[in-house]
Structure 1
Amino acid sequence: MHFCPLCGTLLFVETCDTGVQFFCRTCPYVHAVNGSILKEVSGLKHKEVDDVMGGESRWELADSTQTNCPKCSHGMAYFFQMQTRSADEPATTFYRCANSACANQWKEN
């Protein structure tokens, strides 16, 4: 991506009689492209994402209830409720199977 040195707007590419050129849609800036342009971007770091649900520690204090896991049919699961939509909508219930070998997670709106 190249930007206009005059106004900072993104430059567009067009073909013309003399070849290819960059042009600005905001101001009269035009720059002829005489060869190939290669720009390599390296060193980008991925942003660490926080677990908004609280991660594994969220389940340590969760209550348990008798419900069947849809994956392994175990009869008990941990749960907590969170308001994920507008206030006039019911809360979403998140479940995690109490069977440590399964630990399946699901939700009900």
Structure 2
Amino acid sequence: MEFCPTCGNMLLYELPHMGRSARFYCPTCPYVCYLESRVKIKRRQHLVKKVIEPIFSQDDLDNAPKAEVTCPKCGHGLAAYKSMQTRSADEPETILYACLEKSCRHTWRD
């Protein structure tokens, strides 16, 4: 997105027509910027993945309250739960569950 250096409005794109090259133009003032055939990338920004921390640590599983909820993955009937406010204040809180079966440890939300 480019902006007019004269008045600050967003420039509009016009396709090439009748031998004229493509251009950006300002709809409110006479500013025109003709485009070259090659586009140069001004800068590249490398994205870095954020490290995702687990919802339940081993200490959380040992000390968290337990509920009789069936795990959707293994069918075990006991899970640790934690409630968090993940959305805005007028929305209900999210309940996060972790299966207590040692071979499963599946996590899900309600």
Instruction: Give the TM-score taking structure 2 as reference length.
Output: 0.66
Preserved CA contact (<8 Å) 1:59 1:78:
no
Pairing 1:21–2:23 present: yes
Report the CA distance shift for 1:63/1:42 in structure 2 as closer, same or farther (over 3 A): same
Q: Which residue of 2 aligns with 1:2?
A: 2
**Taking structure 1 as the reference length, what is the TM-score of the superposition?**
0.66
Residue 11 of structure 1 is matched in structure 2 by 11
Give the superposition deviation at 1:23: 0.6
Report the count of equivalent residues: 106
| Alignment match, 2:44 | 42
Structure 2: gaps spanning 5 or more residues: none
Q: Percent identity?
A: 38
More strand by share: 1
Secondary structure of 2:83's partner?
A: strand
TM-superposed CA distance for 1:99, in Å, is 1.6
Choose from 70, 79, 82 the match for 1:80. 82
Matches within 5 A, 1:51-66: 55-57=55-57, 60=60, 61-66=63-68
Alpha-carbon RMSD across the aligned residues, in angstroms, is 3.3
